[in-house]
Amino acid sequence: MIDPLKKLKDKKKLANIDAIGHVTGKSTYVDDIPTMQGTLFIKIFDSPVAHGKIKTVDFSEAEQMPGVVKIFSKKDIPGENQIGGIIQDEPLLADDEVHFRGQAILLIVAESEVEAEEALEKIKIDIEELPAIVDPKEAFLKGQFLSNSRTFQLGDSKKAFESATYIFEGSADSGGQEHLYLETQGAYAYPMEHGSIKIHSSTQGPTQVQKAIARVLGVGMNKVEVDVTRIGGGFGGKEDQANPFAAMTALVAWVLKKPAKCILHRMEDMRMTGKRHPYRSDYKIGLDKNLKIVAYEAAFFQNGGAAADLSPAVLERTLFHATNSYFIPNVVLQAHCCKTNLPPNTAFRGFGGPQGMFVIEAAIDHAARILNVNASDIQQNNLLKDGDEFPYGQIVEDGEAKNSWNELGEKYDIEKIRTSINSYNLPTGQAGNKNTFSKKGMALMPICFGISFTNTMMNHARALVHIYTDGTVGVSTGAIEMGQGVNTKMVQVAAREFGIAPELIKLETTNTTRVANTSPSAASATADLNGKALLDACQQIKNRLIKMIQEVYQLEESAPIIFKNEKITIAKNGKEIPWHQVVTDAFSKRINLSAKGHYATPRINFNKETGKGHPFAYHVYGTALFTATVDCLRGIYEIDEVHIVHDVGETINELVDLGQIEGGLVQGIGWMTMEEIIFNQKGKLLSNALSTYKIPDIYAAPKTINTSFLPLRADNLAIYKSKAVGEPPLMYGIGAYFAIRNAVHAFNPNANFEYVSPITPERVLMALYCK
Ligand code: MTE
Ligand code: HPA
Ligand code: MOS
């Protein structure tokens, strides 16, 4: 067996510390925690209609069912029946009106899950159904909003359009996306002494869970301890939406003074939780005769669902990324947070950025098609360079848009690929045509993604480090491991600072009593924020050890002391002291071997009123090249090759970063091509299981993915210059959409089809034969 902790010569290749546990099934998740005697099980009775007034709910029969302990309604909530984060518009259990199918109304608590399920069937509800809205433009027209509309503006687009040579207008709609984390939402809670409660929650945001529970129970946050070992994927779906299920579980445990557990089944999870926001958008793009984009206007209609959740923040990030990697001097971007009768949509990898980027790419494709040029010519011609201004006022520094594009061009002969695709695609009837019913397409996709929570206040973190007297180290941070490898990176930080082997370091669970007031693990910033807080803690202890050595060996303060290979070396005389020796010496001298570190991202700021500032610590760039083949009889397609040049800064872990790039890419391809969320007009989720909602499997993944890392050119604010990698690669997936589209146009040059994603085989087939 491969030992994942085996010290590889190249530390950058340290395997994910969870790898063996995951493949052998030893890694534990909430549902694996052995249940205590007397544990109660919760089933949620949720709304069968998307909008309605509850007239009566009769659970008298359900209450009499075997094993049933209690049925909870909003009346049983001791504190506030409210879990809204940004806006206070979300009851934990429904009030008199329900606003989406899947909204929790009652909690059935029984001695077993089966008994709770059987009782659920006996509940009778009488609801007066009200009209439901599922489309954001309809909500917009009816004045249904979750929060204020927003505008970002740069230059004078009105004037710029007057002098533009070419102007194109259209619309582009992108669909939602189901998170489909392997571990569904769930929690396990039990009462503790002194009126407190402990809960294991599958959450990206333990502090958010703690807050929601304290509020619902009407107690202080200090009475609520949240503990997370790891989660089986989050992808944004557990940034906020673990809260209700944790709060329900805590409520039951608190009121009944018994351990309680709630784990959603897959179909319940799909029905009750929000997804990536579908967007409908209108664009207007203006170019001069040299294909410079001189003006861009866009209006985004976000389908927010029935409660705000994180929608206002997601909406804002759409605006931040609406011009992707391009400099456009005159811009007006408007965004509307529309209220519909769907489950509240929420964070999903990219956090609104992908939805904004899809629209500018559609606008560029539109212009290219009519002007009969390659979209890549327009893309390349407008890439950001240092000194350019983003519509939100930040100035490009150490930009890598052109570098990543050029590096891709040097590695792969783009014109040669284009020529071979063109000859493959020779029109029917033309000499040499061989592929009448098979066409290929290619597309380039540059990305630019800002790193930091757009809410400046959230960009700080803490960490706690203990060195035990035997020289082993325990590390607690606010980071949640969700498969992205952040714990492995944290081990690397501590190992590097103390100069000791990763085997000597243990990553503790993420726990609100050890590290408090955490931001959720999100915005791709987890390793930066927690890693730098950890660095601070390690350095504090190191400085104490250095001071001790200086005193013992009577060295001057500037004498270099090196921590490496489990030894502390005094550079001047080459004296080496083993790590564990230094630790025992320090302890016997009563030196503190524990430290709490803190980090707050410097420099960032953003003024929501003016829409200007410097919100991001840095940006992540990259460029991808896609080729795809479309079967023109059946409408099915394959992504043949993806070549990526990605800006990782200077990676601290190649394998983890590569995994994030490939995983993000395939998730992005899924969103753009095959993952189709369908609600009917009455707000009922039709794609409600894995039989009707298709995500990419190994056969749908590109046949080839070549990823290379762009060499580091400048310092940055990332942990050890290793840039955030979690979300940006998802947006490469947009390239798959345009590669497929271009193949369709090779078959049917007059195909007149809207920019609608996902570009499913059904849509492709219609487009292949449309006029
Ligand atoms: N990778 C895996 N395997 N599982 C996940 O849930 N979430 C993504 C990304 N990569 C996710 C993932 C999202 S939405 C974010 S914001 C980042 O990881 C969060 O982790 P980071 O801040 O450590 O990159
Ligand atoms: N990204 C991800 N999650 C967030 C953000 C963000 O910018 N702001 C608040 N939650
Ligand atoms: Mo990620 S969408 O910021 O959890």
3-class secondary structure per residue, 473-517: EEEEECCCCCCCCHHHHHHHHHHHHHCCCHHHEEECCEECCCCCC
| Residue minimizing CA distance to atom 4 of ligand 3 | 236
Region label for 496, one of left (φ > 0), alpha (ψ between -120 and 50) or beta (otherwise) = alpha
* Integer Cα distance of 527 and 488 in angstroms: 10
Give CA 480 to chain center in angstroms: 13
Q: Are 381 and 291 in contact (CB under 8 A)?
A: yes
| Residue minimizing CA distance to atom 11 of ligand 1 | 235
Closest CA to 192 of 223, 219, 220: 223
Q: What is the pLDDT of residue 649?
A: 98
Total residues found in the chain within this entry: 771
Q: Which residues contact 755 (CB under 8 A, 6 or more apart)?
A: 170, 171, 172, 173, 358, 359, 362, 365, 366
Ligand closest to Cα of 277 equals 3
Bond before 758 cis per omega within 30 degrees: yes
> What atom of ligand 1 comes closest to residue 483's alpha carbon?
3
Q: What is the mean pLDDT of each run of 10 residues along the chain (771 residues)?
A: 49 89 97 98 98 98 98 98 97 98 98 98 98 98 98 98 98 98 98 98 98 98 98 98 99 98 98 98 98 99 98 98 98 98 99 99 98 98 98 98 98 97 91 92 99 98 98 98 98 98 98 98 98 98 98 94 97 96 98 98 98 98 98 98 98 97 98 98 98 96 98 98 98 98 96 96 97 86
Q: What is the pLDDT of residue 653?
A: 97
Residue burial 283-306, b: 16+ Cβ < 10 Å; e: rest: bbbbbeeebbbbbbbbbbbbbbbb
Q: What is the pLDDT of residue 10?
A: 65
> What atom of ligand 2 comes closest to residue 453's alpha carbon?
7
Q: What is the pLDDT of residue 9?
A: 53
Ligand closest to Cα of 526 equals 1
Q: Are 378 and 368 in contact (CB under 8 A)?
A: yes
Give CA 301 to chain center in angstroms: 21
Number of neighbours of residue 383 by Cβ within 10 angstroms: 23
> What atom of ligand 2 comes closest to residue 455's alpha carbon?
8
Q: What is the pLDDT of residue 210?
A: 98
E strand or H helix at 303: strand 293-305
Ligand closest to Cα of 346 equals 3
> What atom of ligand 3 comes closest to residue 351's alpha carbon?
2
Radius of gyration of the chain (CA): 27
pTM: 0.97
- Cβ–ligand 3 distance for 236 under 6 Å, the answer yes
Q: What is the DSSP letter of 540?
A: H
* Integer Cα distance of 80 and 78 in angstroms: 7
* Integer Cα distance of 119 and 367 in angstroms: 59
Q: Are 606 and 391 in contact (CB under 8 A)?
A: no
* Integer Cα distance of 418 and 441 in angstroms: 9
128 is catalytic: no
Q: Which residues contact 23 (CB under 8 A, 6 or more apart)?
A: none
- Cβ–ligand 2 distance for 321 under 6 Å, the answer no
Phi, psi of 163 (to 5 degrees): -105, 0
| Residue minimizing CA distance to atom 1 of ligand 2 | 523
* Integer Cα distance of 399 and 621 in angstroms: 8
| Residue minimizing CA distance to atom 21 of ligand 1 | 524
528 alpha carbon – ligand 2 mean position (Å): 14
Q: Are 379 and 390 in contact (CB under 8 A)?
A: no
CA distances from 719 to 60, 125, 532 (A): 58, 54, 6
Catalytic choice (239, 316, 727, 762): 727
- Cβ–ligand 2 distance for 349 under 6 Å, the answer no
- Cβ–ligand 2 distance for 235 under 6 Å, the answer no
